[in-house]
Amino acid sequence: MRHPGVAIAAVVVLAAARASAQQPELNDTQKLGQSLFVQSCGVCHLKPQLTAVQFAPVLSRDSASGNENAMRQVITDGTPRMPGFKYLFSEAQIAAIASYLKTVPPRAPEAPPAAKREGRDAD
């Protein structure tokens, strides 16, 4: 008799291994940045579920043309559509977020949705 729980666990372990192979090992500063990013930036820059709306662009090491100083400035001062975090985070925390973002690979472009068929095919 097969156990479906074992197969599911194996798939989860393989997915986690594949994800960790793509993400480099983070140092303590980058781990802090990741934590701060998920807690404070993720509400807009991450999708909580596949069907949810994402309010802001996905961020990666290519954001701000890959310039870490520019990333820090945007996080500090904000933009017309994003608040600045200079009163919430210290310079070290802002630097940690930028350092973490430099480890995030750009996301592959999503495939366009399949066109819906408007009628039935004639036989």
**For the chain, how many structural domains are there in total?**
1
How far is C-alpha 56 from the chain's CA centre?
11
Q: What is the domain range of residue 43?
A: 20-101
pLDDT at 123 over 90: no
Whether 1 is covered by a domain: the verdict is no
Tens-digit pLDDT profile for residues 41-91: 999 998 877 888 888 999 999 999 999 999 999 999 999 999 999 999 999
Whether 96 is covered by a domain: the verdict is yes
According to the model, what pLDDT value does residue 78 have?
Answer: 96
Whether 117 is covered by a domain: the verdict is no
Given pLDDT bands bounded at 50, 70 and 90, which one contains residue 119? low
Say what the pTM is. 0.68
Whether 46 is covered by a domain: the verdict is yes
- CATH number of the domain bearing residue 84: 1.10.760.10
Task: Please tell me the distance from the alpha carbon of residue 40 to that of residue 82, in angstroms, as a whole number.
Answer: 12
Whether 51 is covered by a domain: the verdict is yes
Whether 27 is covered by a domain: the verdict is yes
Q: How does the average pLDDT of the chain come out, rounded?
A: 80
Whether 14 is covered by a domain: the verdict is no
Minimum mean pLDDT range among 47-56, 86-95, 101-110, 114-123: 114-123
- Of the two residues 4 and 63, the one the predictor is more confident about is 63
Nearest C-alpha neighbor of 73 from the set 98, 48, 99: 98
Whether 88 is covered by a domain: the verdict is yes
- Of the two residues 90 and 122, the one the predictor is more confident about is 90
Q: DSSP letter for 84, please.
A: -
